[in-house]
Structure 1
Amino acid sequence: MPTSVPSDRPVRWGLLGAGGIAGTVGADIAASPHSEVAAVGARDLDRARRLADRLGAPRAYGSYAELVADPELDVVYVATTHAQHHEHALLAIEAGKPVLVEKAFTLTKAQADEVIAAAAGNDVFCMEAMWMRMNPLVIRALEMVRGGAIGRVLSVTADHGQRFPFDAGHRLFDLGAGGGALLDLGVYSATFAWMFLGEPASVTTTGHLSPTGSDSTLAMQWNYEDDRYAHVTCTTESSTPCEGTVVGTDGWLRLGYPFYKPSELRVSTRAAGTEVLTEALPGNGYGPQVAEVERCLRAGLPQSPLVPLAETAAIMGLMDEARADLGVRYPADG
């Protein structure tokens, strides 16, 4: 069992990366009464210092190796681009540091398996930063479905589209950086469907490639042996409603907008009619994820039961297959 963090002091975080997501999540870490940003590491020391100053972190490093070597860190948040997650998660794990790895966890299932095995081998906590799984309204929706509120689940649909005009230099269109709609946007849609239906028996994929060969639109139909199904879609070509809908024999529920950070949960059943639940989260909405990492570290858990590593890896495998079907290849695919 990993070493637990004492309850009489804040959890001390190191941010590996100083880009936009590091600052966004870092702000919610700094806002937690039970955590603090203790250090920021980046390849550019000035950039690391600027983010450290903004978040009140006392230390900044000009390399990732220096960050993970800091003996006073309890956990490292890997906030670099998709293609770097594998390398940087392993760097932290091999230094004995627990890790929260930004989604998509890695580029491929093979990389995910390697990171997960390394965390187990080094006896450290590891979790994908799939903050949607900790959202209170998403958790409430899962509880209602598992409790039979909408009967037997028949289907799930989840769409995630944001318009990004084509730019060959942008990371979303750069195969070397893990570009494409699926790993950046569709990972939410795929995870949402998995949460309510589990692993499909078969998958059919369609979509459209950008001029660089990245997936600009990707749609999957997940098929199940008992005739249930899921429609999982993502695109960088248009903004979409970004809703997640679960249909059952006795009603339906919908999370949006957007389903990964829902503003409301709408439930309609034969017995009770339509009910709308709302819950506003402070800050940038990452507070529940920060709290879950805190809880796991204090309990000495190797992983979060809300974000099982086996599911993280399995979803990566489905995305590998979808990319292959569409003809999207990363250098990491070999």
Structure 2
Amino acid sequence: MEKATVLIVDDTPENIDILVGILGKDYKIKVAIDGPKALALAQKSAPDLILLDVMMPGMNGHEVCQKLKSEPLTCHIPVIFVTALSETEDEAQGFELGAVDYITKPVSPAVVKARVKTHLSLYDQKRLLESEVAQRTKELSETRFEIIRRLGRAAEYKDNETGLHVIRMSHYARLLAIASGHSSRFCELVYNAAPMHDIGKIGTPDSILKKPGKLDADEWKEMQAHAQIGAEIIGDHDDPLLQMAKRIAISHHEKWDGSGYPHGLSGEDIPIEGRIIAIADVFDALTSTRPYKKAWTVEDTMALIEKESGKHFDPDLVKQFRSVLDDVKEIKAKHEETF
């Protein structure tokens, strides 16, 4: 088993020698003679525990600890102060800064070994627990995403679509979000929320969804209601993914010029995720083969989308979609329909 690494920080070489003599056989030892060197070592390769002198010239131990705890790479490292100070307020200050223990000088070898062993053991347990929690959280997130995808597929099957539609358009939406300069978190939320865009069609009568001819005015009004129904199905939640899914469901049929539904929003009043999904959804619908229609070519589809730039679609997003068209084609080929 690999030895744990202990960083000893003290401005007095004799004190460092004593601690190295006590711990050197059981642990990998790194040393620093002042605060800045200690911080540099910890940032470069985080030790498993730090023994930190308080009374040092320049940057004292309390300042070093405060800096360590403020940095993401080092905030988790257990710090034990080693000091001749014994005043209660000094100990309280150290604990407030995030230290886990105190060892007073002159040090006792037995005490040093016991404290270091205890806190390394606690640290190992904490890391194991955090790893297990992270793995379980990942599994729960994957399950949640899969449920969302399955619900999205349920709506598409009801509408004579296949499950591949929600897969393709979700990938297209993520590509467009990335090309538009959004954060990685936003792009992943778009990708995972996109399959729910037409969930409201679960509430649309089959007689309308499967009607071979043109819908009359009343039927069209009922078809349009799927956007509001979708938002109601998803509901109100604190979860960012479901919040985005709701915004997508209710806004992906809005149009840049205000002629869309259900609220007739225009321009940037339409949520950006709704504008992204509008392009991804229409592109996939037109370029896909269905039992009742042939697929349009990619270039014919892009010609229509570009014609509708500034009318149906956000013009900036249309440009960005064109810029990632090669990647879009790769996704389309990978998830092609077969009939």
Same fold (TM over 0.5): no
Q: Considering only CA atoms, is the larger Rg found in Structure 1 or Structure 2?
A: 2
Normalising to structure 1: TM-score of the pair?
A: 0.23
Structure holding more strand per residue: 1
- The structure showing larger relative contact order (alpha-carbon pairs under 8 Å, at least 6 residues apart) is 1
Structure holding more helix per residue: 2
